Amino acid sequence: MKRLVAVCGLALVAGCHSNQAAPAIPQATFISPKGANHAGARFSPDGKRLFWWAPAAGGWQLWTAKADLSDSTALPVNAIDPTFPLLWSPDGSQIALAVSGASGSLANVAVMSSAGGTARVLVGGSNLSIPVGWNPDGDRLAYGAFVASQSGATIQGLETSLSHGGARPLIPGESRPYAGMWSPDGSHMAFVVFAQGRPSVWVADSDGSKPRQLTSEGFEGFDRLAVTPFSPDGKQLAYSSTRTGTKDVWVVGIDGSPPRQLTRDIRNDYSPIWSPDGRWIAFLSDRGRQTDIWVVPSAGGIEQRVTNDPAPEDLIGWVAGTDRLAFLTGVGASSIWSMSLADGTARQLTPDSIRTSCCDISPDGTQLLFGIKHGAGSDQLAVMPVAGGAWRIVGELSSANPTYSWSPDGSQIAFVSDEGGTDEIWVAPGAGGTSRQLTNWAEGTSNPNWNADGSMLYFVSPHDSRLGDVWRVPVAGGPPVRVTTEGAISGIMHRRGRPELFATAAGASGAFNTVRVAPDGSISTVWSKGNSFPAILWPHGDSLLIAEIGAGGALGHRLIPVDGHGDGQLLLKPGESAADLSPDGKALLYYVPAGANNNLSLLDRTTGATRVLSTTPDSKSGAGFTPDGKTVIFVRSHDVRRIAIADLTKLLATSTVKPH
């Protein structure tokens, strides 16, 4: 019914203005070279310079240049995740960023001069800490921190001072997970509270006092916490809401006036950002089964398209004082390949005409489960013979959470789909047939893992939780049952056919620990020496390979006893990462960094010898053994993301008509 009403509403609007020609789509200008893979680009407050991340050996390198990318300079800063934000100070003299920690932390908050130089860490420790926004005074910086204690884990909004250091809560006394930032004039603070996993928008005075709730449905939030939701005059907030089933852009006054809905399409509209003069809001939309940029008058009106191409756009931002929009765009190629370990012969299984993600091989070794990436929230899950051939579609796949797996006996398939608006767990018959939805929570779910006999699925959800807990749901249908209660779980893993369940959980120090979850929900720590994540369970179940964040953010792998005793054995060098273990446990498939990409290699556990399997100039991912251990299946891909700018002057001049 919702979608029918939305379609009818759009038809009525179009009918009111049927004689008005749609404005021409602006021509985008690329400033990144062809074939580049840039991330996180942010222009300075005056629009004259920018920072961005580019791939480098073992991670991502920070760069700076003039606005046209001339006079570019590589900076002595690296990160393990280029999606962490880059924030210019109000006067443009400094930039705040999340850098790889020097002592095994995931990310520390740091600042550096916009002219270059060494980054100065403001917030260290083992927590995951990310800058969110500057105070207009240029000295105080808001950040979000993953904080853990014996009572559970939470996301906390904090502030620190460049001149005095320290840390204090943005909202004193707020115990629920939240994060926020100041208004342009510093008089107010906007923040999102995640109460039992249900987000809502709030506002407070600049010192965090007098917090007031502005939305109450539990479906609202800021898609990019490091982009201000405030209008330039500080009187309104733009946010996205899924109260109608899919995301729409809304605006609410900080005075508590009723929220206003700006978009009503049946696809997702999200990531709103105000124009410098406050008259327009640019946003991303999945209309037409592709991700494009649109604009809408902030007072209400007709949405107008800014881009129209299959390449997904992201990280939109207005160039200060202009009607120009900067954004990232580009689409790479990815295809599934198989390789015989006997003679090294490689064979392409999927054509270049589709983009794929990989892979889960059926227990009998005959069928391959993989994702087809269409973009715009319309990805699909497919099955094809391992030997190659035609594929069939299993169901709609969540683009944000593309997880899927065969049951232990290969009779069923579990996957996460956002077909209903949120990420939920579905199952489908392995031989083909109608899929069934098992969960239906507004907070969503992730990480479905089969139990040993295939009768239940374990999963993680923030439902009724501070951060996340483990739940299980019968595959035959029925209500989910809570397994853990700590509210500190962020991911789980298992090895098909075995009862062990391992998880990533927040420890008392704030670090991510590797833990073991028993069927009764009790948790025992397996590894707590810095940030670690379970990777691969050894065949006999007595040892576990974990990934750990080392000095400088480098990823390392260690084989440890599951009882948590001893320091285990380092198997891979920093920067190398594990992919899969052979069925007999004698060979480890892993990735070795090679410039901006990687090579696929094999480690013989018996002799210690290594063998490079693939050195093509692209990235390899999703690698795994077939059940007989004779073949490796993997994805070869090449990412392309370029910085582009579109001049909207003409478009905005002709886009002032409001709907009746």
Percent of the chain with pLDDT over 70: 92
The structure's pTM equals 0.85
pLDDT band of 106, cuts 50, 70, 90: confident
Query: pLDDT (tens digit, 9 = 90+) per residue, 397-410?
Result: 887 788 999 999 99
Tally the residues of the chain: 660
> Nearest CA to 420 among 432, 407, 438, 404?
438
CA 31, 138, 87: angle at the middle one, nearest 5? 30
Give the whole-angstrom CA distance, residue 118 versus residue 112: 6
Give the whole-angstrom CA distance, residue 196 versus residue 482: 14
Give the whole-angstrom CA distance, residue 167 versus residue 474: 45
> What mean pLDDT is predicted for residues 149-174?
86
Least confident of 85-99, 388-402, 562-576: 562-576
> What mean pLDDT is predicted for residues 45-67?
88
SS3 309: coil
pLDDT band of 566, cuts 50, 70, 90: confident
Residue where a domain terminates, one of 128, 147, 169: 169
Joined together, the tokens standing for residue 3 give 């979608």
Quick check: 337 pLDDT over 60? Answer: yes
Joined together, the tokens standing for residue 492 give 């789980």
How are strands ordered across the β-sheet holding 543-549? 532-537, 543-549, 555-561, 569-572
Question: Structural domain tally of the chain?
Answer: 2
Look at residue 18 in the predicted model and tell me its pLDDT.
37
CA 284 from centroid of its chain's CA atoms: 16
Quick check: 129 pLDDT over 80? Answer: yes
pLDDT band of 553, cuts 50, 70, 90: low
Query: Is the distance from CB of 535 to CB of 494 less than 8 angstroms?
Result: no
> What mean pLDDT is predicted for residues 260-267?
92
Quick check: 160 pLDDT over 90? Answer: yes
The CA-atom distances, in angstroms, between 213 and each of 3, 132, 196, 216 are 29, 20, 16, 7
Quick check: 3 pLDDT over 60? Answer: no
pLDDT band of 81, cuts 50, 70, 90: confident
Q: Give the Cβ contact number of residue 612 at 10 Å.
A: 12
Does a structural domain hold residue 345?
yes
> Nearest CA to 373 among 362, 385, 381?
381
Look at residue 195 in the predicted model and tell me its pLDDT.
81
> What mean pLDDT is predicted for residues 612-631?
92
Q: Give the Cβ contact number of residue 556 at 10 Å.
A: 21
Does a structural domain hold residue 183?
no
pLDDT band of 148, cuts 50, 70, 90: low
Look at residue 17 in the predicted model and tell me its pLDDT.
37
Residue 257 carries which DSSP code? P
Give the whole-angstrom CA distance, residue 308 versus residue 138: 38
Does a structural domain hold residue 177?
no
Query: pLDDT (tens digit, 9 = 90+) per residue, 186-243?
Result: 999 999 998 877 889 999 999 999 999 999 888 899 998 889 999 999 999 999 998 8
Does a structural domain hold residue 523?
yes
Look at residue 22 in the predicted model and tell me its pLDDT.
64
Look at residue 507 in the predicted model and tell me its pLDDT.
77
* CATH at 397: 2.120.10.30
Residue where a domain terminates, one of 126, 148, 169: 169
Q: Which domain holds residue 607?
A: 333-638
Look at residue 9 in the predicted model and tell me its pLDDT.
30
H or E segment at 149?
strand 140-149
Give the whole-angstrom CA distance, residue 652 versus residue 660: 19
pLDDT band of 570, cuts 50, 70, 90: confident
Question: pLDDT: is 414 or 512 the higher one?
Answer: 414
Does a structural domain hold residue 518?
yes
> What mean pLDDT is predicted for residues 649-655?
86
Look at residue 392 in the predicted model and tell me its pLDDT.
95
Query: Is the distance from CB of 430 to CB of 392 less than 8 angstroms?
Result: no
Joined together, the tokens standing for residue 394 give 């299993």
Does a structural domain hold residue 119?
yes
SS3 650: helix
Give the whole-angstrom CA distance, residue 84 versus residue 59: 13
Query: pLDDT (tens digit, 9 = 90+) per residue, 443-494?
Result: 889 999 999 999 999 999 988 887 789 999 999 999 999 999 888 898 898 8
Residue 311 carries which DSSP code? S
Look at residue 442 in the predicted model and tell me its pLDDT.
80
> Nearest CA to 402 among 637, 622, 225?
622
Give the whole-angstrom CA distance, residue 294 versus residue 262: 12
Look at residue 568 in the predicted model and tell me its pLDDT.
82
Does a structural domain hold residue 296?
no
Look at residue 622 in the predicted model and tell me its pLDDT.
93
Residue 302 carries which DSSP code? -
Joined together, the tokens standing for residue 230 give 């405030």
Does a structural domain hold residue 157?
yes
